[in-house]
Every structure is written in C-alpha cells, then in structure tokens.
C-alpha cells in the first residue's frame, strides 16, 4: 500500500467547509439587513408600550398636524390619527401577514414535496396536478374575487395567499428530494437497514434546509408586498392599520402633506428590500459559489512580455514550458499544469497518459485554445508549424480550428447540441471552415458519415442526437473532427465512455483515418491498453508535468521514471488470475480445519 | 464449492416504460446464479446488459417481476420492508461512485456508525467498532471526525467498504466498485477486497464491465449479454479461453498494455470477427 | 400533435370547471347578504326571500352552478345584479385594457431580458455587473411605490404623461402609448429583474456545456454558438419562466391599474367583489381561467416544438 494513497492530503481533496451560518456572520449585507429587520420587529413587539396613541384614535385638533407637534412626533393624518402609532401598528400587520403567508406556504409545500418526492408514482401525479393548477392561477385576482368570503380580514386573505404560494415551495422541495433520493448514499442507507422516516430526517431534510431558508425570506417579503398592495386597493378592514392603507391615504393627501405618504413608503421599502437582500445573502451562504459568466474567448495570458515569438520548426506541434493556473477564492493562482513540454511530429500518434488531475486534459484544451473562461496561461508557448498560438485572439484561433487542428471529445452525447440534427451540426462546422454551399456541405457530410462506418448515413444525418447510440455519436463526432482534413487531431479520452467492444472499433477507425489523412494525433488517455494499441510515442504526465516520454515500446518495456514503473506495475494483466479457493466464515472460525 | 449462500433462479426484472402508456421493457430475461460462502462471483457485461440490475434486485432496490432469490436458506424475493431491514445485517453493498455514495454532510464516523446504531448497538460499542473498521480498511483513526470531501476517491471507497463491513455481513454486492478509481488506486482497493475476504469469509457478488478486474478478484465468473447469462465458469477459463462467441469478442476487444502483444491480439480479433461473420453468413444461407 | 393539443385543452377545461365551481361554492354562503345589501336597510324577510327566488338563489347550489355553466356554453354569462349590464361584453372590454398593458409589458420584458441576460452571460465583466445591479434594484423596489413615484414625477410634476385614463389603440395609437407608458414601465422593471436573471443563469449553464466547446473547435463563430445554439437551448426554460411571468404581471397589473386609474380588469373585479356582484365575479373568474389555460397551452406547444426529445408529430 502506498503512503500517498493513505495520507490525507489537504491539497488533493477539498478543505472542510465552514458552516453557512458562520459565513453569514461575516457577510456585512446579511448582518446589516438582519439587524435592521430585528430592530423593526422589536419596535413592532414593543408597540403596545411605546405607541403614543391608539392607531384609530382620531383628534379633530390634530388633523394634518406637522411632525414635531407635541404628542405627535411624526404628525397626524387627515383624520387626525397619530402617524407614528399607525406606523408601529402597521409593522405588526406586515409581520403577521408575512408570517401567515410564509408559514402556510412552507407547511403545505414541504409536506407534499417530501411525500411527492420520496414516495413518488401515483400519489405524486395527483399532487403534481393540483399544484400546477394552483400555480397557474393569478393569485391576486382570486384574493380580490374572494373578498365576500374573506370579509376583508387580512389574516384570512394571507392564509389563502399562503396556499397560493405553496406550489413554488412544493416544486423546490420535490425536485431536491427526487435528486437526493437517487443519490447512491440514500440507496446505501436503505441497504443499511434505515427506515424511510429516518432516511427522510437524516439524509433528506438536511439537504433541503438551505433552499427552504432562502425561499422563506423571499416568501415573507412577497407576502408583505401583496398585503400592502391589497390594503392599498382597499381590500380589508379600515380599522386595521397597515402600510398599504397609509400609503393610499397619503397618496390622496399628497399635495397637502407629502410626508404622510413618505413615512409608510420608506418603512415598507426598507422591510421588503432588507428581506430580498437577506435572501440573496442566504443564497450565497448556502449555495456557495455564484454562477460565473462563461465568456467565449481565447485564454487569458499572464506573461505577455516573455512570450516566445514564432519561429520556423520541423515539428508540427511544440509545447514548451506551458503553465496553466486557475484563480482560487483567495485570489491566488493555483497551477494545474506546471511546465509541460511536448513535441508532436507530422503524421505521428502521441499518447498523453496520466491519472485524473495530472493536467493532461488541460494541456489538450490549451492546445485547442478552449480552456474554461477562468483559466490563465501563466507562461510558455504552443507552436503549431512554428506559429505561437498563445496570445492569438479567438478570431485568429478560429481560422486554425477545424482546418489545421481538430478535436474529439470524451463524452459523445453531451458534445452534440440536442436541439439540432446531427447533419445540421456537421454542415455548420464544414461551412464555417470551407465556405462550401449548403448542398455541397451536405454531400460532404453524407460521404463522411459513410466513411466513419455509419450504415445508413442519410438516416443518421436527419437524426437528433438522442436518437442515436453512444458509439454512433462518437463516430459522428469523429466525422465532424476530420471533415476538413486537419493536420493535428486532439482526442481527449475518445473511448473512455464507450463499451470495450465499441472502443476497439473506434480505435480501428482512428487508426485508419490517421493513415489515410496523414494527420498527427494527440491521444489523451488514462488507459495503457489504448496507448499500446494505437500510439507511436508516449508522454506520461503526473501532477501537471511530463515525467517521461519516449517511443511506445521504450516506455512499456523499459520505463525509467518511478511513477511510470508504478503505473505499469498496477495494471491488472492477463496473468493475474485468482487462484485461492473460497473459504467460508465457518471454516475460518474453525481455524485449523485446513 | 462451499455451501451455497445466494441462489438466484430465473430472475426477471421489468422496468415500467416512461410516460403515458409506454411499453414496459424487460431487462433481465431469467438469470440464474449461485454464490457459495466466502466466494466471489464476478458478473461481467457491457452497459445496458442488465448486470447492475442483478445486484440491485438482490439488494431489494428493484422489484423482480419473476424468479426466486434465496439467501442463506430464506426466500427474499418479496420480503417486507421490516424483513429487509433485518437482512441489512447479512447483506451489504459497495457502489461504483465513492463521490455520491457517501452523504457529503455526515462525518465518516457518523456514516460508519449509523447502520450499527440502527441495528441496536450502543453509541460506545459503535465507536469502538468504527475504530476497528477504519483499521481494517487501512484508514487513520482520526478519519472518523472528517467529512467525505476531505478524502480522495480511493480513500472514500475505503470508507464505503468499511460501511459495508460494519455489520459483519455474509454477502456484499459490489457494483463496479473500482471503475471510478485511478489505475494505481484500483489495484490497491481490489487487493483490499481480497484481503478482507480471506480474513472474514465474506462472499462477493462483484459486478464489473472490466474483464481484467473480474479476473483478478473472482473465483467464478458469469458473463451477461442483453439480459441473459451466456456463460458461467471458473475465472481462469472464462476469462482466458471463453467458449461463448460474445465472451470471445469481449476478451479480444480489451487491449493489452504492451504494443507488441496488443498487435498480436488485434490480428486475432480480426480473425475471430471474420470467422463469426462467415458463420453468420452460413447460418443465413442455411435458413 | 393534434392529440397532444386536445389532451392539454381537455386538462385546461377541467381546470376552468374546477376553479369556477370552487369560486361558486365559496361565494354561495354570501348570496343572501348580497341580496340584503342590494335591497337596502328597508328590506323585510319577505322581500329578501322574493328577491332570492327571483334571482334563483334559493335553488340547490349545484343546480345553480350547472345553470350558469349552461349559459356560459351559449355565450351568456348573465347580467350584473346592480346595473343589469350583460357580463360578457363588459368583462371582455376590461380584459382588453389589462391585456394591452400586460402583453406590451411582456414583449418589452422579453426583449430587454434576453438582450441583458445573453450579454451578461456571454461577456461577463461590466455587462454582468450592470445586469445584476439592475435585477437587484428591480427586486428591491416594490412595484406599488415605483408606480406612485412615477405618477408624482412624470405626470404631476413634469406633466410629461397623463396621470390616468385609457385611450384605446384603435382610437389614437400615440395617446394609447402615452396612457399605458407608466404602468408598462412599472411592470417591465419588475419583470426584467426576474427574467434577466433567469436568462443569464440558463445561458451560463448552456455556455458551459460540452457541445459549446466542440462547436468552437470546429471553427464555428462565437455569434452562432451564442445565438443559434446556446440561446436556442436556453429558450425552453426561459419560456416556462415567461408564462409564469405573464401570470405574475396579470396579478401586478390588478394593483397598478388602480394607481393609474386605468379602467381595467383589476378595478372592475375589485368593485364587483366589493359590491358582491356575483355574476360579474364569476364572469371575471371564468375569463381569467380561460386566459391562463390558453397561455399554458401555447407554452406547452411551443416548448414541445423547441425540444426535439419532447416533440410529438
């Protein structure tokens, strides 16, 4: 057993994650909005003690009193009611609305989401149907229409509103539960003998708590806004002080005293904005990384000054001291490829071999100029026929791609656009590089499909990706790659996703095409059998570096680097057949019987 | 062979079709196999052959539509949920993907002790057992306080193996347990499986697509092709001199990690495909 | 395809029946109080009973419902209890006002959201910052407050736009545009906040998929990858968001119409509900459901057409 396998390497695996709640405490947006809300809620709770007047107490003498009038710190409205007292009471109305709306929606949504997601099938289709009905109906219309039923009681209205909001929660919970349910660890828990209830409590609820907390913040804000809107319209009792009613009255009284409109608006705005911002902070804390834009462009280059110029070369491809890095959350660059040097001559097949994380695929992407948007090329050069590709723009690279340099991916299905027929995708590629007419391109594609061994090219041409098998999809991708007779083909684990019998056929096809078109092939793989089958030369990668390279025969028969020796030693060859007979536990316990 | 531990007879599994009034598809058309105590049966086949479904049916994760599964003398084809939970002591699993088979939010210690506590162990006993288990699979003791994400793929698979070993089962269903691992880790984990079997006498139903993996760990091998077992026999003969044409194709399609040997094998494969083609033609001509 | 549409239409019909039935059942206990209200304080139990018989409110509730339903199938939605106006044309006219508002807002929302979302997802940097700030602002500011501020600033202080009222498009397109400009702005800001973020998210998902890289390696232009491929694949999820957005805007319009004194659906519904004008309430509900059913059907059909896997021939 190797030491490397056993040691817990902090660089290799992810560090322990900080609890989302602790993360929240370090987010100023979360702290500020949460404190604001806390103060507002406290004011609401203390209202009976600090409000100077009853919210409905009208004093003729106080009509439209200015702010600062004794006993009326914020003035009074057109009916002579104290604005400050009404504001304080409105806080409670809002909070109760939010509480009722959010908790009803959560209670219904979570219960049915868990049931529908976990137990599934028949029960689910019924709940699904009912919830999608509720979801598609404009809730506010229903709340207005049902006024004769609710008698304008905002609590009852919010109860109905909660029911109307529940489908959203239901969907979130149901989707999460279905996702978790298909996780292998839930299968493992079932096999381990855990009851359904325990699985739900232990494995499922924990996963869905984050999204539910986030949703609760938005629900709360939504319920408050809707209640304000309805009160603004005049739905509900005039005796219940609320922001909506105050805004409505202030709106009518705008020209006499704009402040009457301002106070409730500001408070309502602060509450809803705080809830939205808090919701966003919660989302960041629970869901971690934000979605970064995916800019389509040539890779970023850090060291422009030290860039090697183009120069004549007898090799087709020369990679020299290539370093690729990714920014870490702390802003530093983490190198994944650490100075790769590689040379490929015209017409030869080079195997780039290594285990996961060795940087082989990153190197391949760098040659094609299609690294992910975050990647940075720290230094080094990639010369194709002497021309340095690093620093070229996306437009310049596009002139080379498809014509001089082509690519076959690992996973055949995900590399075809599901929305277009196979033929349309191939025609687009050919027309982008050759300027053939649509008809000519179509003829060319049909011929190519035939060449890569597809029995019925016409039918495949008109098929959508989901209608063909994985092996066939890989043939299609090969056809797309060799369409314009490239000089260099980069194949990234082209057979890893395929069955072994299909793999043999695809390797045969690659070998034939390579000879026919006299192209060079860089084959990225972790499988030494594949390398032995097809490669002239090998470069072995470990931790972002090429540790050994040579002809295939040299490397297989006389590996020099210890890592290569270790890898070759780990191959389960045909000679290692298990020979010891089975021994039952009983016999083992008996000890000396054998 | 040792006494039979698992006997599967004429197992059929049908998956309901997707969508409205879709046709159901039968993925296993009557599979029979036996595993003796302390024995490894390798089940090898390509994607869609139904090999994984065999394991899932034995574990009760899919319902058979026909046939019988007898485990340790008890018919477990259609047992109740409560009975199934009791079976957990005897029948365990290691899945393919060590990244999704461990709950990311539980510590390794919790993952290992959960099945023990469910089966009635005290917290103290469970903790002691966790330490033994970690020793058995070669993980440091402080691993118990860590989360799965702090471990590499091979280490996680060790945790999954320890979890399966926890109740001292008689049979572990291993569903492609090394195919997500890197080459060098693969061999180490396979040797761990063998070592544990020699020490504890546990039997394995070992499902894999990789002939060389199956050859390495199995006493006997069954080959699954399109929902049927086409060939069963001792590991050495099935994986080196197969009789069924499909197994022959499978064997010759797997490349050897040596350029010269592989060239020979390729020639052999071409010859075999030519023979099969001619046979098919003759059969067509006769019919 | 026809079968599929028919099936969806059937499901929609069931939805319409259920919603109207439930509304009917919920409203039925208040029938008597409505009659009492209408007759005023002088009403005696006899006059109330007479009126109940006259309106047919004394019959069993299901009989009343099916009676109403029978009328609906012949295009007769009944008459207002208070004005005796026929319900259908009145509701249709109000719906027209609201729809011209909502559909205009929706179209503008789609154009802005798609442009903003695609721009942000495929460019990053400043474009992304701008789109995120815009959608945050749209989320934070309540539509109601925004509407009032617009009225105060644009209509009252600057006198750029009419503060209220509605001019039909057929009468004077320019004045029509002026009359709905402010409510449309309010709806668009709320809508864009939601939808641009959705478009951005699904576009990023698409742009990070494997097939995008493969298309790049074949020399396909960036424009084609972003528009023809990624946006095409993002269209399905975006459409679903759009249909929900439509329903949300319809709800928002009901409140906002009031601020701008537009004679729309919301105001009409509100007044009918306040008075307990039961035939109008039912008519409004029925029209609302039919609208929702049509929108969902269109969404389903377009979605089915967009996704080759779900396409039904």
Q: Does C258 touch chain A (CB under 8 A)?
A: yes
- Determine which of A291-305, A351-365, B180-194, C138-152 has the lowest per-residue pLDDT on average: A291-305
- Cα–Cα dist A559/A550, whole Å: 9
* Neighbour tally for A70: CB within 10 Å: 7
- Tokens 């959508």 sit on residue: A464
Half-sphere exposure of C213 (CA within 13 A, CB side): 26
What's the whole-number mean pLDDT along residues A132-150? 75
| Mean pLDDT, rounded, for A321-325 | 93
pLDDT band at A288 (very low <50, low <70, confident <90, very high): low
Inspect the interface and report whether the beta carbons of B138 and A6 lie closer than 8 Å: yes
pLDDT of residue A9: 39
Written as six digits, the tokens of A151 are 């008698």
Q: How many CB pairs lie under 8 A apart between chains A and C? A: 236
Question: What is the predicted ipTM?
Answer: 0.87
pLDDT the model gives residue A306: 47
C215 at interface of A, judged by CB pairs closer than 8 A:
yes
Q: The tokens of C81 are what?
A: 């209890």
Enumerate the residues of chain A whose CB falls inside 8 A of the CB of residue C145: 247, 265, 268-269
Cβ pair C212, A420 in contact under 8 A = no
**Neighboring chain A residues of C136 at a CB cutoff of 8 Å:** 276-277, 280
Contact call for C142 and A291, based on CB within 8 A: no
| Residue B72 touches chain A, beta carbons under 8 Å | no
Contact C224 A228 (CB under 8 A): no
d(CA A379, CA B16): 55
Q: How far apart are CA A429 and CA A408, in angstroms?
A: 14
**Contact (CB, 8 A) for A502 and A533:** no
How many beta-carbon contacts under 8 Å exist across A and B? 237
CATH class of C97-275: mainly alpha
Residue A310 confidence (pLDDT): 66
Q: What is the DSSP string of A191-219?
A: HTT--HHHHIIIIIHHHHHHHHHHHHHHH
Closest by CA position to A398, among listed A366, A369, A377? A369
pLDDT given for residue A4 in this prediction: 37
Cα C60 from Cα A158, distance rounded (Å): 31
Q: What is the mean pLDDT of residues B222-250?
A: 93
C261 pLDDT tier (thresholds 50, 70, 90): confident
- With 60 as the cut, is the pLDDT of residue A308 above it? no
pLDDT of residue A421: 93
In whole numbers, what is the pLDDT of chain C averaged over residues? 85
Chain B residues with CB under 8 Å of A199 CB are none
Backbone Cα Rg of chain B: 21
Task: Identify the residue with better confidence: A168 or A532.
Answer: A532
A578 to chain B, minimum CA–CA distance in Å?
Answer: 5
Contact A489, A520 (CB under 8 A): yes
User: Is the model's pLDDT at A14 over the cut of 50?
Assistant: no
Q: What is the mean pLDDT of residues B116-140?
A: 88
What is the pLDDT averaged over residues A125-132?
75
Chain A environment of C20 (Cβ under 8 Å): none
Q: Using an 8 Å Cβ cutoff, are A93 and A154 in contact?
A: yes
Residue C229 CA to residue A64 CA, distance in Å, equals 62
Mean pLDDT computed over B252-264 = 92
- Minimum CA–CA partner of C208 in chain A: A294
pLDDT attached to residue A18: 60
Q: From B84, which residue of chain A is nearest by alpha-carbon distance?
A: A193
Query: Which pLDDT belongs to residue A406?
Result: 94
Closest chain B C-alpha to A523 CA, distance in angstroms: 15
Lowest mean pLDDT among A266-270, A381-385, C125-129, C183-187: C125-129
Which one of C141, C145, C205 would you mutate to disrupt binding with A, by most A Cβ within 10 Å of its Cβ?
C145
Q: How far is CA A431 from CA A396, A409, A415, C125, in A?
A: 17, 21, 19, 32
* pLDDT tens figures, C81-114: 888 888 888 888 888 889 999 999 999 999 999 9
Helix (H) or strand (E) holding A489: strand A488-492
Q: Please classify residue B19 by burial: count the beta carbons closer than 10 Å to its beta carbon, then call 0-12 exposed, 13-18 middle and 19+ buried.
A: exposed
What CA–CA distance (Å, rounded) separates C28 from C20? 12
Task: Specify the pLDDT at position A178.
Answer: 82
Flag whether pLDDT at A413 surpasses 70: yes
Q: In angstroms, what separates the C-alpha of C168 from chain A's closest C-alpha?
A: 23
Residues of C in contact with A372 (CB under 8 A): 208
Cα–Cα dist A150/A575, whole Å: 81
CA–CA dist A257, A63 (Å, integer): 11
Beta bridge partners of A343: A318
The residue with greater pLDDT, A594 or B35, is B35
**Closest Cα of chain A to C235: distance in Å?**
11
DSSP state at residue B145: G
Q: What is the pLDDT of residue B233?
A: 94
C-alpha A462 chain-centroid distance: 32
Q: Does B39 touch chain A (CB under 8 A)?
A: yes
State whether A261 and C308 contact (CB < 8 Å).
no
Q: Is the pLDDT of residue B65 over 70?
A: yes
Tokens at A94, concatenated: 């809002």
How buried is residue B134: exposed, middle or buried, by Cβ count under 10 Å (0-12/13-18/19+)? buried
Task: Among B151, B184, B253, select the one facing A500 at the smallest CB separation.
Answer: B253
Per-residue pLDDT, C51: 81
Count CB-CB contacts under 10 A for residue C158: 9
Mean pLDDT, rounded, for B100-112: 88
Phi, psi of B72, rounded to the nearest 5 degrees: 55, 40
Contact A481/C217, CB-based, under 8 Å?
yes
Q: Are A563 and A540 spatial neighbours (Cβ–Cβ below 8 Å)?
A: yes
What is the widest separation between alpha-carbon atoms in chain C?
A: 86
Burial class (CB in 10 A: 0-12, 13-18, 19+), A206: middle
pLDDT for residue A441 is more than 90? yes
Phi, psi of A344 (to 5 degrees): -130, 125
Question: What pLDDT score was predicted for residue A544?
Answer: 92
User: Is the model's pLDDT at A434 over the cut of 60?
Assistant: yes
DSSP A122-185: HHHHHHHHHHHHHHTS-HHHHHHHTHHHHTT-HHHHHHHHHHHHHHHHHHHHHHHHHHHHTSHH
- Tell me, what's the pLDDT at C207? 92
| C-beta contacts of C13-16 below 8 A and 24+ residues apart | C13/C293, C15/A133, C15/A136, C15/C289, C15/C292, C15/C293, C16/C286, C16/C289, C16/C290, C16/C293
Closest in A138, A368, A399 to C288, CB measured: A138
pLDDT at A94 over 60: yes
Candidates A294, A285, A174, A273; CA nearest to A225 is A273
Please tell me the predicted confidence (pLDDT) of residue B17: 62
* For residue B79, pLDDT beyond 90: no
Which pairs count as long-range contacts for C8-16, CB under 8 Å and 24+ apart, including other chains? C8/C296, C8/C297, C8/C300, C8/C301, C9/C293, C9/C297, C12/C293, C12/C294, C12/C296, C12/C297, C13/C293, C15/A133, C15/A136, C15/C289, C15/C292, C15/C293, C16/C286, C16/C289, C16/C290, C16/C293
Residue range A573-590, pLDDT digits in tens: 777 788 888 888 777 776
Look at phi and psi of residue C85 and say left if phi exceeds 0, alpha if psi is from -120 to 50, else beta.
beta
In sequence order, which residues have a C-beta less than 8 Å from that of residue B179 and are 6 or more positions away?
A: B96, B208, B209, B210, B213
| pLDDT, average across residues A8-25 | 58
Which residue shows structure tokens 């509480």? Answer: A99
The domain locations on chain C are 97-275
Instruction: For residue A243, give the nearest of A61, A49, A96, A59 by alpha carbon.
Output: A96
Q: State how far residue B249 is from chain A, nearest Cα, in angstroms.
A: 7
- Inter-chain contact C148–A265, Cβ cutoff 8 Å? yes
Q: Which of A416-430, B95-109, C66-80, C245-259 has the largest mean confidence?
A: A416-430
Whether the full predicted model's pTM is greater than 0.80, yes or no, is yes
Provide the shortest C-alpha distance from residue A583 to chain B (in Å).
5
Neighbors of chain B with 3 or more C-beta pairs under 8 Å: A
**Nearest-CA distance A586 → chain B (Å):** 8
Q: A409: which 2 tokens?
A: 């991916």
A578–B219 CB contact, under 8 Å: yes
Check if the beta carbon of residue A537 is closer than 8 Å to that of residue A548: no
User: What are the pLDDT digits (tens) for A474-506?
Assistant: 999 999 999 988 999 999 999 988 889 999 999
Q: List b or e across C169-187, with b for residues whose CB sees 16 or more CB atoms inside 10 angstroms.
A: beeeeeebeebbbbbbbbb
β-pairing, B40-44 with B220-225? parallel
Q: Check pLDDT > 80 for residue C80.
A: yes
* Range name among A444-453, A481-490, C248-257 with the lowest pLDDT average: C248-257
What is the share, in percent, of chain A residues with pLDDT greater than 90?
41
Rounded mean pLDDT of C274-291? Answer: 85
By percentage, how much of chain C surpasses pLDDT 70? 98
What are the structural domains of chain A? Answer: 28-47+82-285 (1.10.3720.10), 344-369+384-578 (3.40.50.300)
Q: Can you give the residue ranges of every domain in chain B? A: 6-242, 255-287
Q: How many helices (H) and strands (E) does chain B have?
A: 10, 10
What does the mean pLDDT of chain B come to?
A: 89
Q: Which residue has the higher pLDDT, A131 or A82?
A: A82
Contacts of B183 in chain A (CB under 8 A): 355, 526, 528, 567, 570-571
What pLDDT band is residue C77 in, cutting at 50, 70 and 90?
Answer: confident
pLDDT of res. C38: 76
Among chain A residues, the shortest Cα distance to B106 is held by A203
B6-242: CATH topology: Rossmann fold (3.40.50)
Per-residue pLDDT at A125 exceeds 80: no
Q: Give tens-digit pLDDT for A146-198.
A: 777 777 788 988 998 898 888 888 888 888 888 888 788 888 888 888 888 88
pLDDT value, residue A592: 43
State the chains in contact with A (3 or more Cβ–Cβ pairs under 8 Å).
Answer: B, C
How much is the pLDDT for A122? 66
Mutate to test the interface with B, among A118, A184, A587 (most CBs of B within 10 A): A184
Residues C15-41, mean pLDDT to the nearest whole number: 80
Identify which has the larger pLDDT, A419 or A116.
Answer: A419
C chain contacts of residue A233, beta-carbon cutoff 8 Å:
255, 258, 266, 270
Rounded Cα distance between A169 and A217, Å, is 12
pLDDT for A75 equals: 83
Question: Length of chain C in residues, anyone?
Answer: 313
**B149, A566: Cβ pair inside 8 Å?**
no
Interface residue C139 vs chain A (CB under 8 A): yes
pLDDT greater than 80 at residue C32: no
| Per-residue confidence (pLDDT) for residue C25, from 0 to 100 | 85
| Better-scored residue on pLDDT, A193 or A106 | A106
Inspect the interface and report whether the beta carbons of C124 and A293 lie closer than 8 Å: yes
For residue B18, what pLDDT is reported?
56
Q: At C19, list the tokens.
A: 């919603």
Q: How far apart are CA C148 and CA A512, in angstroms?
A: 73
Q: How many Cα atoms are found within 13 Å in the side-chain-facing hemisphere of B194?
A: 19
């Amino acid at each position: 057993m190797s030491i490397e396998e056993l040691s817990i390497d902090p660089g290799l695996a992810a560090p322990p994650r900080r609890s989302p709640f602790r993360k929240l405490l370090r987010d100023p947006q979360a702290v500020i909005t949460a404190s604001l809300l806390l103060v507002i809620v406290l004011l609401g709770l203390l209202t009976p003690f600090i409000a100077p007047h009853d919210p409905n107490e009208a004093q003729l003498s106080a009509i439209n009193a200015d702010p600062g009038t004794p006993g009326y710190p914020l003035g009074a409205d057109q009916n002579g009611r104290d604005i400050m007292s009404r504001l304080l009471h409105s806080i409670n109305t809002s909070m109760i609305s939010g509480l009722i709306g959010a908790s009803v929606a959560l209670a219904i949504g979570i219960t049915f989401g868990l049931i529908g997601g976990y137990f599934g099938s028949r029960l689910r289709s019924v709940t699904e149907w009912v919830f999608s009905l509720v979801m598609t109906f404009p809730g506010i219309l229903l709340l207005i229409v049902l006024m004769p039923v609710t008698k304008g009681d905002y609590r009852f209205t919010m109860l109905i509103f909660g029911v109307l909001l529940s489908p959203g929660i239901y969907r979130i919970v149901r989707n999460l539960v279905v996702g978790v349910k298909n996780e292998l660890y839930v299968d493992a828990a079932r096999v381990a003998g855990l009851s359904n209830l325990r699985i739900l409590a232990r494995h499922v609820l924990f996963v869905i708590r984050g999204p539910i907390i986030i949703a609760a913040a938005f629900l709360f804000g939504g319920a408050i806004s809707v209640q304000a809107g309805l009160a603004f319209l005049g739905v509900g009792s005039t005796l219940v002080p609320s922001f909506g009613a105050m805004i409505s009255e202030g709106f009518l009284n705008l020209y006499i005293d704009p402040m009457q409109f301002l106070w409730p608006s500001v408070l309502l705005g602060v509450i809803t904005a705080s809830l939205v911002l808090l919701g966003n902070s919660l989302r960041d804390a629970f869901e971690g990384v934000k979605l970064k834009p995916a800019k389509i462009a040539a890779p970023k280059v850090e060291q422009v000054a030290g860039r090697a110029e183009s120069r004549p070369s007898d090799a087709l491809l020369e990679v020299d001291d290539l370093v690729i890095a990714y920014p870490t959350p702390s802003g530093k660059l983490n190198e994944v490829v650490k100075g790769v040097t590689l040379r490929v001559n015209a017409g030869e097949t080079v195997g780039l071999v290594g285990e996961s994380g060795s940087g082989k695929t990153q190197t391949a992407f760098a040659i094609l100029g299609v690294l992910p948007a975050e990647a940075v090329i720290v230094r080094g050069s990639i010369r194709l026929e002497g021309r340095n590709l690093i620093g070229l723009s996306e437009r310049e690279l596009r002139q080379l791609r498809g014509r001089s340099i082509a690519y076959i991916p690992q996973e055949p299905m995900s590399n075809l656009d599901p929305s277009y027929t196979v033929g349309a995708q191939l025609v687009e590629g050919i027309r982008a590089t050759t300027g053939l007419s649509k008809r000519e391109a179509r003829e060319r594609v049909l011929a190519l499909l035939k060449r890569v061994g597809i029995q019925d090219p016409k039918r495949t041409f008109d098929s959508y990706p989901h209608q063909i098998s994985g092996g066939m999809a890989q043939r299609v991708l090969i056809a797309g790659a060799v369409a314009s007779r490239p000089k260099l083909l980069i194949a990234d684990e082209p057979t890893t996703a395929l069955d072994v019998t299909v793999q043999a056929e695809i390797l045969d096809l690659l070998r034939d095409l390579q000879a026919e078109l006299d192209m060079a092939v860089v084959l990225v793989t972790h499988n030494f059998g594949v390398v032995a089958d097809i490669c002239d030369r090998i470069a072995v990668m470990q931790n972002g570096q090429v540790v050994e390279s040579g002809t295939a025969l040299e490397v297989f028969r006389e590996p020099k680097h210890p890592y290569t020796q270790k890898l070759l030693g780990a191959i389960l060859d045909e000679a290692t057949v298990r020979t010891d007979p089975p021994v039952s536990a009983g016999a083992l316990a008996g000890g000396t019987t054998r | 062979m040792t006494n039979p531990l698992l006997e599967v007879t004429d197992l059929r599994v049908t998956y309901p079709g997707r969508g409205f009034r879709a046709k159901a598809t039968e993925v296993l058309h009557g599979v029979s196999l036996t595993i003796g105590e302390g024995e490894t049966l390798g089940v090898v086949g390509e994607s869609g052959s139904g090999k994984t479904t065999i394991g899932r049916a034995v574990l009760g994760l899919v319902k058979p539509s026909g046939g019988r599964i007898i485990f340790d003398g008890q018919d477990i084809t259609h047992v109740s949920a409560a009975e199934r939970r009791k079976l957990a002591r005897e029948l365990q699993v290691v899945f393919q993907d060590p990244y999704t088979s461990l709950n990311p939010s539980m510590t390794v210690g919790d993952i290992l002790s959960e099945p023990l506590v469910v089966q009635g162990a005290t917290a103290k006993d469970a903790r002691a057992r966790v330490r033994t288990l970690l020793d058995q699979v070669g993980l440091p003791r402080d691993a118990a306080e860590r989360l799965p994400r702090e471990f590499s793929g091979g280490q996680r698979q060790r945790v999954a193996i320890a979890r399966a070993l926890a109740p001292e089962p008689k049979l572990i269903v291993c569903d492609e347990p090394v195919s997500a691992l890197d080459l060098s880790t693969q061999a180490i984990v396979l040797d761990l499986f063998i070592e544990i079997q020699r020490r504890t006498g546990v039997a394995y139903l070992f499902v894999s697509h990789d002939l060389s993996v199956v050859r390495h760990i199995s006493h006997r091998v069954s080959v699954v092709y399109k929902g049927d077992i086409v060939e069963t026999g001792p590991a050495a003969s099935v994986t080196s001199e197969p009789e069924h044409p499909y197994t022959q194709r499978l064997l010759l399609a797997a490349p050897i990690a040596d350029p010269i040997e592989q060239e020979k094998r390729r020639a052999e494969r071409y010859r075999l495909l030519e023979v099969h083609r001619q046979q098919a033609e003759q059969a067509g001509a006769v019919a | 395809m026809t079968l599929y549409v028919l099936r969806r239409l059937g499901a929609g019909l069931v939805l319409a029946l259920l919603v109207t039935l439930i509304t009917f059942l919920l409203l039925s206990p208040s029938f008597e109080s409505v009659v009492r209200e209408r007759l005023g304080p002088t009403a005696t139990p006899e006059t109330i009973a007479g009126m109940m018989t006259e309106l047919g409110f004394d019959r069993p509730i299901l009989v009343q419902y099916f009676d109403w339903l029978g009328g609906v199938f012949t295009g007769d939605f009944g008459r207002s209890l208070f004005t005796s106006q026929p319900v259908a044309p009145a509701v249709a006219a109000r719906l027209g006002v609201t729809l011209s508002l909502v559909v205009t807002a929706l179209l503008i929302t789609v154009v802005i959201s798609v442009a903003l979302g695609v721009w942000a997802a495929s460019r990053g940097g400043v474009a992304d910052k701008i789109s995120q700030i815009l959608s945050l602002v749209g989320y934070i500011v309540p539509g109601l407050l925004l509407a009032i501020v617009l009225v105060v600033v644009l209509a009252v202080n600057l006198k750029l736009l009419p503060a209220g009222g509605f001019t039909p498009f057929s009468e004077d397109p320019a004045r029509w545009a002026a009359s709905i400009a402010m409510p449309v702005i309010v709806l668009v800001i709320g809508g864009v906040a939601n939808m641009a973020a959705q478009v951005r998210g699904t576009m990023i998902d698409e742009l990070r998929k494997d097939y995008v890289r493969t298309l790049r390696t074949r020399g396909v232009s960036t424009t084609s990858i972003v528009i023809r491929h990624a946006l095409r694949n993002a269209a399905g999820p975006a459409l679903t968001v759009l249909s929900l957005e439509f329903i949300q805007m319809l709800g928002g319009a009901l409140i906002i119409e009031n601020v701008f004194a537009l004679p729309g659906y919301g105001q009409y519904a509100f007044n009918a509900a306040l008075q307990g004008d039961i035939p109008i309430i039912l008519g409004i509900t029925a029209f609302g459901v039919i609208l929702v059913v049509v929108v969902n059907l269109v969404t389903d059909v377009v979605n089915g057409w967009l996704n080759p896997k779900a396409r039904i021939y």
